């Protein structure tokens, strides 16, 4: 089971160039901030690939009440994440030479808002009644993650701010590509959610988000990059917590 201590060990190892669970990082990868950060996040992504929520969702055995609990929590998360992407776009477009990246952030914010609308409709169809987002109580895991992302985007250096938003891109791409090939699609009650995972479009967005983080990492010093790594690893842990929270609610 992944926990905060495991990821804190990974963060502490960042300065020493250690890699967990995946062998040495290739020289070309380690030259980029993201190459080291992703290698250090492997304990979390490995744990997500065997998380009972995800494995059951992909093989169609997840209990409907658990899945609906997750969808309802994700409605709140997506609202906050769209706001954070919008705010990040506003920050990045003030940097010289980052116009393309700012435009991508705005596209991602709009896509997130559209996904939130889809999630509201999907959850409502499963429940057989209209969902009222303002009446959904948030778990402590959701509140912690929303506060984490909002605070970093608002108060931290641009590189750290982007590092706090990157786990949502990276983690979903990794477990989507790991689990989607073996997923049961026909007869899966979660088919509408599962069959879009592991797509080339998601991988392309994750790569662009990582490239932006790398560009911002190049604008800071070693201390700033270490802070980016610690924040990224914390965000990966918080992603794991969102799934765990609905299993134990």
**C-alpha span between 25 and 102 (Å, rounded):** 30
Please give the chain's pLDDT, 249 residues, in tens: 334 333 334 344 443 333 223 333 333 344 599 999 999 999 999 999 999 999 999 999 999 999 999 999 999 999 999 999 999 999 999 999 999 999 999 999 999 999 999 999 999 999 999 999 999 999 999 999 999 999 999 999 999 999 999 999 999 999 999 999 999 999 999 999 999 899 999 999 999 999 999 999 999 999 999 999 999 999 999 999 999 999 975
* Buried-state track 210-230, b at ≥16 Cβ within 10 A, e below 16: bebbbbbbeebeeebbbbbbb
Q: Domain of 184?
A: 45-248
H or E segment to which residue 51 belongs = none
On whether residue 203 sits in a domain, the answer given is: yes
On whether residue 16 sits in a domain, the answer given is: no
CATH at 189: 1.20.910.10
On whether residue 11 sits in a domain, the answer given is: no
**C-alpha span between 106 and 86 (Å, rounded):** 6
Q: Are 123 and 71 in contact (CB under 8 A)?
A: yes
pLDDT, one tens digit per residue, over 104-127 is 999 999 999 999 999 999 999 999
On whether residue 176 sits in a domain, the answer given is: yes
Q: Are 247 and 17 in contact (CB under 8 A)?
A: no
Domain count for the chain: 1
On whether residue 149 sits in a domain, the answer given is: yes
pLDDT, one tens digit per residue, over 166-175 is 999 999 999 9
pLDDT, one tens digit per residue, over 130-152 is 999 999 999 999 999 999 999 99
On whether residue 33 sits in a domain, the answer given is: no
């Amino acid at each position: 089971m992944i926990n905060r201590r495991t990821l804190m060990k990974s963060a502490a190892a960042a300065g020493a160039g250690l890699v967990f669970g995946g062998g040495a990082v290739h020289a070309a990868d380690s030259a980029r901030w993201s190459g080291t950060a992703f290698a250090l996040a492997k304990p979390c992504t490995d744990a997500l690939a065997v998380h009972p929520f995800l494995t059951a969702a992909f093989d169609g055995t997840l209990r409907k009440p658990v899945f609906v609990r997750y969808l309802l929590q994700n409605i709140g998360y997506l609202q906050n994440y769209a706001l954070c992407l919008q705010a990040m776009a506003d920050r990045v477009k003030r940097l010289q030479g980052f116009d393309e990246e700012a435009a991508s952030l705005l596209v991602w914010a709009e896509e997130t808002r559209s996904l939130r609308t889809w999630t509201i409709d999907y959850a409502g169809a499963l429940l057989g009644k209209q969902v009222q987002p303002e009446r959904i109580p948030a778990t402590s895991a959701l509140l912690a993650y929303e506060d984490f992302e909002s605070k970093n985007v608002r108060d931290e250096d641009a590189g750290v701010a982007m590092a706090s938003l990157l786990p949502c891109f990276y983690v979903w791409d990794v477990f989507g590509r790991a689990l989607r090939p073996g997923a049961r699609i026909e007869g899966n009650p979660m088919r509408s959610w599962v069959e879009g995972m592991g797509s080339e479009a998601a991988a392309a967005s994750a790569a662009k988000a990582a490239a932006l983080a790398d560009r911002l990492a190049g604008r800071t010093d070693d201390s700033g990059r270490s802070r980016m790594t610690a924040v990224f690893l914390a965000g990966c842990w918080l992603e794991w917590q969102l799934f765990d929270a609905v299993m134990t609610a």
